[in-house]
Amino acid sequence: MRIALDTNTYTDAAQGERKAVDVLQSADEICIPFVVIAELRAGFALGTKGKKNEAKLTEFLNTPRVKVLYPDEQTTHHYARVFSNLKKQRTPIPTHDIWIAAMTLQYDLVLFSRDAHFAGIPQLVRI
């Protein structure tokens, strides 16, 4: 299985939460959108264990099965569709999560997240 990792599930795995660790261990490929890395680093900057958390993240990102996703022109089309559908449904979600959803859809991944608001994007396959 190829997964896209959200901020909360990376944090769960980094803290040793069993389900998150099991999902990551069983994944064939782990894709982490750039915005997730930005959210993690923002949290590190505010916390007291920034250097330790950064070292752990760097080690994770250097794992062969991990790939960082960056947006491109195609991503903007997915973003626009997700954004407009959510707006029409009157079920907005945070902007960062629209980017995560857009890249998950673009690369045909399964999203691993605890955020319930992703349910408002029916074409998104989630764990």
pLDDT score for 84: 96
Residue 22 is predicted with a pLDDT of: 97
Rounded Cα distance, 54 and 61, in Å:
10
CATH architecture of the domain with range 2-120:
3-Layer(aba) Sandwich (3.40)
Q: What is the pLDDT of residues 18-73, one digit of tens each?
A: 999 999 999 999 999 999 999 999 999 998 998 999 999 999 999 999 999 999 99
Question: What are the domain boundaries of the chain?
Answer: 2-120
pLDDT in tens, 85-127: 999 999 999 999 999 999 999 999 999 999 999 999 999 999 9
Give the count of beta carbons closer than 10 Å to the beta carbon of residue 62: 8
Q: Which residues pair with 30 in a beta bridge?
A: 3, 66
pLDDT attached to residue 85: 95
pLDDT recorded at residue 50: 87
